[in-house]
Amino acid sequence: MSLVHISSLMKSTLDAAFRSIRHRSLYRRLLRFLFALALVASVAGVFFVEKLHRQNHNHVSLLTDLPTIPPRNSTDRDDQLVVPLRDDATKLQAQRCVQAGYGGVYFKHFRKAGGTTLYNSFRDNQCLRRQMPIFASEFPFFNRDTFDVLNSTVFVTTLRHPIDRILSLYWFEGRWPRTCHKACENNKTKDDTNKVADLEEWIEAIHDQSNHTNLRYVRHNGCGQWVSVENYYTRILLGVDRARDEEQAKSTLHQRGFRNVTLTSRHLLKAKQILASFDVILIQEEMIQPSEKIKMFFEMTGYGDKPPRAFGVERKGYERAKYFVPPLNSTLDRLRQLNALDIELYDYAVRLSQKNFDKWQQRRNEDSLGGNETDFYAAANCKKPMARLPQPVANIAVGGDFCVGGRWSGRTWSDFWYFPGCIFHSREAESK
């Protein structure tokens, strides 16, 4: 190897070594920079955590005098705000009066929520064998004064999930025109050619209340709530209708507020107060199977020996069911939007039904309501003036407010349905 080649090789080696040394130097510089950055971040983090700890410590120290409260969800807090119009003592007195043969039973019937099944079962199984005043109110808005007038009465109602109730209403009378009374309507064969509207069209027409004549809904919407797709339970309990024009918006409903009131959480609270004043609240979805809650219903209405059983559900829409189409998700979302308060009220009713049942079971274990004790209690309490139901009920259209513009054949909708075989109290509502 020549000297030139050796010199060239040494030069290449030295150049490579120099580049390697330079790269290592840059690498070391980068490591030192990253280490310094990490050190600064760590120090800053320590100071931040210490400051946050001091703030939290100072905040907690201000609360040391307060008692420890177990966590509660919003549902519990909301339920505790509800103050019933009838307390437990008042309900218990009415239940004992009824079981002793005094007082009566009041059914608040919400449309398509199991009400017909409930009070038909009661009529067929009980009041035909026992003379008992029976009150049943389907259309009228609920009148809170009913609690005072019928002060030795057991109040009963049933609820169904609001969305399911509306779907049932549509398939019962919304899809096809109502051309005759119930007797012939139930026997009439329905087909798809004479349908009035699809579900989506029907919902908007009913909610808007502007196209009833063309769609033949007007016959069944005399006061705005007979066919209802928007917070029906809340409006019926409070007597808050929806105005269809500006003139109606100026009207008042039995001096209790404007018809076009937009419902708020305050209305929901009032509806809960009324519902909490009922003795028995049955959930339609639970009525299909035998249960102790059904036994509670029979016992509270005067028949403690009635075995628990299911009420069953009438199914007459066989022809209509042929055309059933599951609702669209967008339609269900629309119904949830229109019925937000009713859905919350229904959820409350489910909880309330269980609470009432728990109280009933506890009372049955602690205090027998049968035998001489009940007779003595009835003699001491149930024969006072107004303890028995007045015959007839005076000075009030029990169960319903006057419906503005709701006259039908010269009468209002305030009369109760008649139960054959029962002592039945009703009066014709006076014209305003």
Q: Which amino acid is at 33?
A: F
Cβ-proximal residues to 356 (8 Å cutoff; 6+ apart), any chain: 279, 280, 281, 296
Q: Within a domain: residue 422?
A: no
Query: Token digits for 185?
Result: 């309507």
Q: Are residues 213 and 292 in the same domain?
A: yes
Q: Are residues 163 and 63 in the same domain?
A: no
Q: Which of 382, 402, 419 is a domain's end point? A: 382
Q: How far apart are CA 377 and CA 207, in angstroms?
A: 50
Q: How far apart are CA 220 and CA 242, in angstroms?
A: 15
Task: Verify cis geometry, omega within 30 degrees of 0, for the bond prior to 392.
Answer: yes
Q: Are residues 129 and 257 in the same domain?
A: yes
Per-residue pLDDT in tens (0 to 9) along the chain, 432 residues: 555 555 555 556 545 555 555 555 665 666 576 666 666 666 666 555 455 444 433 332 222 332 333 344 556 667 888 999 999 989 988 888 887 777 778 888 898 888 777 766 766 655 445 556 777 777 657 877 788 777 788 899 999 999 999 998 888 777 776 555 555 555 556 677 777 778 898 888 777 765 444 444 443 444 456 678 889 999 888 877 655 555 554 444 443 333 456 788 888 999 999 999 999 999 988 877 767 888 888 788 776 655 555 565 555 555 566 777 888 999 999 999 999 999 999 999 999 999 999 988 888 787 655 444 545 555 456 654 344 444 433 333 333 333 322 222 222 333 333 333 333 333 332 222
Q: Are residues 29 and 119 in the same domain?
A: no
Question: Residue 56: which domain range?
Answer: 1-69
Query: Token digits for 137?
Result: 């109110």
Query: Token digits for 350?
Result: 């489910």
SS3 state of residue 318? helix
For strands 153-159 and 134-137, give the pairing: unpaired
- pTM, to two decimals: 0.67
Query: Token digits for 344?
Result: 């919350």
Query: Token digits for 400?
Result: 């319903």
What is the residue-wise DSSP string for 215-276?
A: HT-GGG-TTSSSS--SSHHHHHHHT----SSHHHHH-BSTTS-BTTPPP-HHHHHHHHHHHT
Q: Within a domain: residue 413?
A: no
Q: Are residues 53 and 94 in the same domain?
A: no
Q: Is 42 left (phi over 0), alpha (psi -120 to 50) or beta?
A: alpha
Query: Token digits for 292?
Result: 């102790």
Q: Are residues 168 and 31 in the same domain?
A: no
Q: Are residues 16 and 154 in the same domain?
A: no
Q: How far apart are CA 198 and CA 326, in angstroms?
A: 11
Q: Within a domain: residue 430?
A: no
For 88-210, where are the alpha helices, taking DSSP H only?
88-99, 115-122, 146-149, 162-169, 182-187, 199-208
Total domain count for the chain?
Answer: 2
Q: Within a domain: residue 211?
A: yes
**86 close to 95: Cβ distance less than 8 angstroms:** no
Residue 413 has a pLDDT of 30
Q: How far apart are CA 165 and CA 158, in angstroms?
A: 12
SS3 state of residue 157? strand
Q: How far apart are CA 27 and CA 21, in angstroms?
A: 10
Q: Within a domain: residue 431?
A: no
Nearest to residue 118, comparing CAs of 327, 417, 429?
Answer: 417
